[in-house]
Amino acid sequence: MRTGIDRNWPYRRGVRISTRTLNRTYLRRQLLLDDVPNTVPDAVGRLVAVQAQEVDAPYVGLWARLPGFTHGELTAALEDRSVVRGGLLRGTQHLTTAEDYRWLRPLIRAGMGNAGLSAFRRQIEGLELAEIAAAATEALAGRTMTRPQLARALGERFPGREAIALAWAAQHQLSLVHPPPSGTWGRRGHVHVTLAEEWIGAPLRESTAEELLWRYLASCGPATAADLQIWSGVRRLRDAVEALRPRLRVYRDEAGRELFDAPDLDLADPDEPAPVRFLPEFDNLVLSHDDRGRIIASAADRALVCPGYSIVRPTFLVDGFVAGTWSAEPGRLVVAPFRPLADPAPVHAEALRLLEFLRLTDAEVVLEER
């Protein structure tokens, strides 16, 4: 029996919200709607983790989100250890703040189990993963090594085994980060690895799915339990989300799907203007939900962004939605819209800004016709 007014009561039933409201809310939480003067660690912390599978991608992703951002700002954050690079969401390379890495890596590692080791199972058959991890920890203690150097050290410890498979198994088991110069602008070549706790200067700590959910909603919500799993790569989170239901706001999207959100987070105005933005390959903006309709308008458009397994092309946004892809080629930056642009001028202007950031001074913008 009700004894008073429950101000959250409408949200228990699931207030229906439009796709445009989801879109603008998502853009705001991803720092793509307003020019918010954040520092690099502040921005990375807001996003929880920034996709860094391609070395230069996080530089472009932060350039799209931070006014006046320069290459040196991210490089400095990596060098002063306030931001670190390592295997995190979905087992792929991401940037995160050092403080967030301390709880995020153990939670992701435990939630993914042995996913990602299948390619090396035959080469390490008969060995205990803990034994490989212990040997790698001993080899890396007080040192930074390249992957080939770590592989050679483990090959000596386990003769007759494929050294590179041992190194990948060790990286899967241990919490390792990739210190500079790895991960810095334009840097190619061997990746360096070192023990995360030594590099950060603090121990890792335990966390819960609840902490993961609150941070995810602040950067990607409102969202479903399936969305949280897709974003993080952690399985079997539905029960943990359901346990938090009494503390969550509940919405429904235009298709009737139930979406959860933190009660202290507001929705954005669906009519708020959204500027043109250029984003790098693998940007989490297009990878953080099971249903990507809030940012990619159709299945046909999604197929152009993600044409195959492990391919996510660089994109640009018009009116808040992915409107096409782009690529940097010798002498030109090619902008490929999915359909004719109502007003090409803002896209061309932002592409010129991107050219300058990419340091392609002798290149031109080529807008493909559809």
pLDDT in tens, 158-207: 998 888 889 888 988 899 999 999 999 999 888 899 999 999 999 999 99
Same domain, 21 and 156: yes
Same domain, 86 and 42: yes
In whole angstroms, what is the distance from residue 200 CA to residue 191 CA? 18
How many domains is the chain built from? Answer: 2
Same domain, 349 and 246: no
Give residue for tokens 């796709």. 19
pLDDT grade, residue 125 (50/70/90)?
Answer: confident
* pLDDT digits 0-9 by tens, 221-259: 999 999 999 999 998 999 999 999 999 999 999 999 999
pTM score, whole prediction: 0.93
**Which pLDDT does position 283 carry in this prediction?**
97
pLDDT at 98 over 80: yes
pLDDT at 327 over 70: yes
Q: Which of 238, 273, 308 is the last residue of a domain?
A: 273
Same domain, 311 and 361: yes
pLDDT grade, residue 25 (50/70/90)?
Answer: very high
In whole angstroms, what is the distance from residue 280 CA to residue 58 CA? 8
Is 320 within a domain?
yes
Same domain, 31 and 140: yes
Is 98 within a domain?
yes
In whole angstroms, what is the distance from residue 3 CA to residue 158 CA? 69
- If we measure between CA atoms, which residue out of 137, 46, 61 comes closest to residue 100? 46
pLDDT grade, residue 116 (50/70/90)?
Answer: low
Same domain, 345 and 266: no
- If we measure between CA atoms, which residue out of 333, 325, 323 comes closest to residue 358? 333
Residue 81 CA: distances (Å) to CA of 196, 205, 236:
11, 18, 32
User: Number of C-alpha atoms within 13 angstroms, CB side, residue 29?
Assistant: 27
Same domain, 84 and 144: yes
**Which pLDDT does position 120 carry in this prediction?**
75
Is 287 within a domain?
no
Percent pLDDT > 90 in the chain is 80
In whole angstroms, what is the distance from residue 200 CA to residue 86 CA? 12
Is 327 within a domain?
yes
Same domain, 108 and 227: yes
Same domain, 51 and 184: yes
Question: 301 lies in which domain range?
Answer: 296-367
Cis peptide before 222, with omega less than 30 degrees from 0? yes
- 200 backbone dihedrals φ, ψ, rounded to 5°: -75, -30
- If we measure between CA atoms, which residue out of 54, 167, 49 comes closest to residue 105? 49
**Which pLDDT does position 124 carry in this prediction?**
82
**Which pLDDT does position 5 carry in this prediction?**
36
Same domain, 256 and 328: no
User: Number of C-alpha atoms within 13 angstroms, CB side, residue 301?
Assistant: 21
Same domain, 223 and 342: no
Same domain, 131 and 187: yes
Average pLDDT over residues 123-133: 86
pLDDT grade, residue 12 (50/70/90)?
Answer: low
